Chain A
Amino acid sequence: EAAVTQSPRNKVAVTGGKVTLSCNQTNNHNNMYWYRQDTGHGLRLIHYSYGAGSTEKGDIPDGYKASRPSQENFSLILELATPSQTSVYFCASGDSRVANERLFFGHGTKLSVL
């Protein structure tokens, strides 16, 4: 079974602070994604990556940066956290070589910005 591990599971940050959310996958998938989940909005795409060294903007990239230093790791960085970024963040991986790509999600990181 494909594995995507997120850390931390829970995070409390202060407004204006820097937050880094980490994601590791052992699926050897090329594609990785960061989504945030909010009530009434479902899952919204923040950033994604097609492979090591690449990052692309999703639908709501403002206030977020992403880093893909290796095939396995994909980080989401909030340089100056704001209360509006309080949410549950999900990382996912997928195999671009497969038609109808299936995404494998981590368990999520609950972020609270006070």
Chain B
Amino acid sequence: QQQVRQSPQSLTVWEGETAILNCSYEDSTFNYFPWYQQFPGEGPALLISISSVSDKKEDGRFTIFFNKREKKLSLHITDSQPGDSATYFCAASPNYNVLYFGSGTKLTVEP
């Protein structure tokens, strides 16, 4: 049973466009939601995170929008660059330690 769901599985955007990656979860006890970025051949690395007390978190070109009532969140990447091409994982935790990861969205940014 997938605790965290992501869509789409893959996404292609042109350089300069905004990429929108979606995530949803089942467990209402989840209160911490990090997004990890993974390049081929490497381990995932923390990109940006949000806690359930906030509805938006911004870090440069990356923004998380969080809807607690609907148990949904999204990652927006504005002015997408070819270097942003990677797989993005949404994760969730009920206790700030154990993380449950989604299946990932593979983003390709075409120049």
Report which A residues bind B (CB closer than 8 A).
Answer: 4, 31, 35, 40-45, 48, 58-59, 90, 92, 94, 96, 99-108
Contact = CB atoms under 8 A, between A and B. Distances in A.
A108 B46 contact: no
In the complex, the 8 A-B pairs of residues with the closest C-beta atoms, listed nearest first: A105-B43, A42-B103, A43-B101, A42-B101, A102-B46, A42-B104, A105-B44, A90-B43
Contact of B89 (A42, A58, A96, A108): A42
B89 A106 contact: no
Given A45-B99, A99-B96, A100-B51, A107 B46 contact: no
Given A100-B51, A102-B46, A43 B89 contact: yes
A7 to B, nearest CB: 14
Interface residues of B, number: 23
Contacts of B96: 99-101
B43 A96 contact: no
A107 B98 contact: no
B49 interface: yes
Contacts of A59: 100
